[in-house]
Amino acid sequence: MARAVTPSRKAFTTVVAGLLGLMMFFPVLWIFILSFKSEGDAIKAPMEILFNTGWTTESYGAVQERSDYFKHFWNSVIISVGSTVLGLAVAIPAAWAMAFVPGKRTKDVLMWMLSTKMLPPVGVLVPIYLIFRDLGLLDSRVGLVFVLMMINLPIIIWMLYTYFREIPGEILEAARMDGASLRNEVIYVLTPMAVPGMASTMLLNVILAWNEAFWTLNLTAANAAPLTAFIASYSSPEGLFYAKLSAASVMAIAPILIMGWFSQKQLVRGLTFGAVK
């Protein structure tokens, strides 16, 4: 039975939810505000920054002048899209097999894959760094595509697995009865039904790869550096450049924020899929 919701209770929960939302969004908002201040103003006390300082776009100009935004942007695009496409190419057959032809150890395999996410990445930094050095993959986009693909693979496989599991077996049997060969079953029945799941998996993975900072910072120098390195270059030993750092951050997160905004319905559906029937 649904609990009765009194107006005051509703108002209270609305306020609490609003505050929580603000808390989560506040850092992004603050970065946005700081990016439109001069370096001198940006280090003042918060209240002063909000009410007693002027607005300027000089940081954006300075950032663009000092480092090549578009180079980093393209590196981010190539690395996140590349690792996602490669990840899906590996994960789709894997998830497919586990969902439709589960074996005795399917659950164990899934758990084992997920367990790799429990290891702190820094634990394998040295070996991976050395391997990359020997293979000449340091500071290369190809190397990053591989690393990010492997980092996110367990999540892609899990998501796809839950999606594929939701496709009723009887529909596949119906296709078989209707005379579809395995190839046609895959092309005409399975794939169209699996596409929404693949799409939200892809979206999530692009976002994860775009925001990934540990590996991208440690394995790149100049050539393959994505936007994460672009941001990091403004928190340097030379001193604090709050305004420029903020401007760089806004420029780095804007594309993915816009993409996420337009695809949020698909994303939420993807993340909660199978949770509620």
Under the rule (CB under 8 A), what is the footprint of another protein?
168, 170-171, 173-181, 184, 188-189, 192-193
- What is the rounded CA–CA span in Å between residue 143 and residue 69? 21
Handedness of CA 88, 92, 94, 98 (dihedral sign): positive
Taking the complex as a whole, how short is the minimal distance between the CB of residue 274 and another protein, in angstroms?
16
- What is the rounded CA–CA span in Å between residue 186 and residue 66? 51
Note whether 121 and 212 are within 8 A (CB): no
Note whether 60 and 247 are within 8 A (CB): yes
Taking the complex as a whole, how short is the minimal distance between the CB of residue 20 and another protein, in angstroms?
36
Taking the complex as a whole, how short is the minimal distance between the CB of residue 157 and another protein, in angstroms?
24
Taking the complex as a whole, how short is the minimal distance between the CB of residue 175 and another protein, in angstroms?
8
- What is the rounded CA–CA span in Å between residue 108 and residue 102? 11
Note whether 234 and 248 are within 8 A (CB): yes
Question: CB-wise, 123 or 179, nearer to another protein?
Answer: 179
Question: CB-wise, 101 or 177, nearer to another protein?
Answer: 177
Question: CB-wise, 162 or 249, nearer to another protein?
Answer: 162
Question: CB-wise, 155 or 189, nearer to another protein?
Answer: 189
Taking the complex as a whole, how short is the minimal distance between the CB of residue 160 and another protein, in angstroms?
18
- Which residue in 149, 261, 161 sits closest to 206, CA to CA? 149
Question: CB-wise, 187 or 240, nearer to another protein?
Answer: 187
